[in-house]
Structures are given as C-alpha cells and as structure tokens.
Amino acid sequence: MATNLQFIKSASGTSVTSLEITNCFTDKYDVYAFAITKVDATSDGNMDLRFIDSGGSVISDAEYDYANLQLISYSSFSEGRGTNSTNINDIMRRDTDTEKNGGGFHYIYNPNDSSSYTFYQGQSGGAVASSGLIGTKAIGVHKVAEQITGFQLYGATFDTLEVVVYGVK
C-alpha cells in the first residue's frame, strides 16, 4: 500500500462527548487515514466510530460489524466483537481511570464508493494514570454500500480531542 499522506483537514474539540469530521472523503482517494494526535479524557467511556452519509447524517443504524483486541499492561488482554452493531466499538479503549496523552492511527477504505462497503482498521494507545498502558487494535465494516463523507468519534467526555485526516496516495 502507498504511504504518501496528503493533508485533508484537522478538527479538535474541548470538553466534548463527540467530534464530527465532515466533508473529508471525496473521489480523490480510495484510502484515507486519520491520526488522533491528542486525547485527554477524564470520564469513563471508550471511543467509538460511526460514519456520516452523503446527506450529512450520522449513521447509527445496526449496520456495522467490528472486532478489537485490547492490549492491557496491568491486566489480561481481551477481545471484543459485534455484528449488526450501531457503531464500530472501542477504537480506543478507556478504563475507569484518567487517561492522558493518548493517540492512534486509523485507516478508512472506499468511503466515497457508493457501490462498496466502507472498511476501517486502526490502532491506538494511551496511559491510564494509576495503572499502566493500554492499547487497542481494531477492524470494522459498514455493511451498506453508500457514499460516506465523514465520521464521528464519540464516547467519553474528552477534555481535549485532536484529529488530522489524510488522503493516502
């Protein structure tokens, strides 16, 4: 796969429970990447992903399948998976403690192609203040062939959330 990243846009939020990154997918690229460059959260809740359709609506119907692996330094590793879910669950895992300085790198495949499913793959990590390190590897699919123009990250209350979107050449 090519690895030349072309900047598309950045987005950030302060004291938010969700962040929508809109109008970032076009016919210019088949593969997009997004980097979570900073995440600080002080409430419980994992970071989940939903796509935004060409009409600007967040897709929250049971149209997603996902699988993830949580790599926890202070506990056993664990797996999560779901079919016919309303999101791609746990792209960044949170524990019951304050997580600081997290980040991740994620790919989205074929979002603009209205005749194809949209796929997701990513990994993330962070420090849990009193416990140790926690990482996540995740995959997912939106099982409806439609044009996707953006995505939503949501879950915990994020004191700071910063995201940069790239096209992959």
Q: Is the pLDDT of residue 15 over 80?
A: yes
The per-residue pLDDT for range 20-53, each reduced to its tens digit, is 999 999 999 999 999 999 887 766 668 999 999 9
Alpha-carbon span 62 to 3, nearest angstrom: 32
Q: List Cα–Cα distances, 46 to 20, 49, 111, 126, 145, in angstroms.
A: 16, 10, 23, 12, 27
Q: What is the mean pLDDT of residues 76-93?
A: 93
The pLDDT score that the predictor gives to residue 132 is 79
Q: Is there a contact between 80 and 88 (Cβ–Cβ < 8 Å)?
A: no
Residue 97, pLDDT > 60, answer no
Radius of gyration of the chain (CA): 15
**Cα separation, 167 vs 33, whole angstroms:** 6
Q: Could you give the CA distance from residue 60 to residue 85 in angstroms, rounded to a whole number? A: 9
Query: Nearest-5° angle of CA 145, CA 142, CA 8?
Result: 90
* pLDDT digits 0-9 by tens, 105-160: 999 999 999 999 999 999 998 777 677 788 999 999 999 999 999 999 998 788 88
- Phi then psi for residue 114, to 5 deg, are -75, -5
Average pLDDT over residues 17-22: 96
Question: Rounded to whole angstroms, what are the CA distances from 112 to 2, 156, 167?
Answer: 18, 28, 12
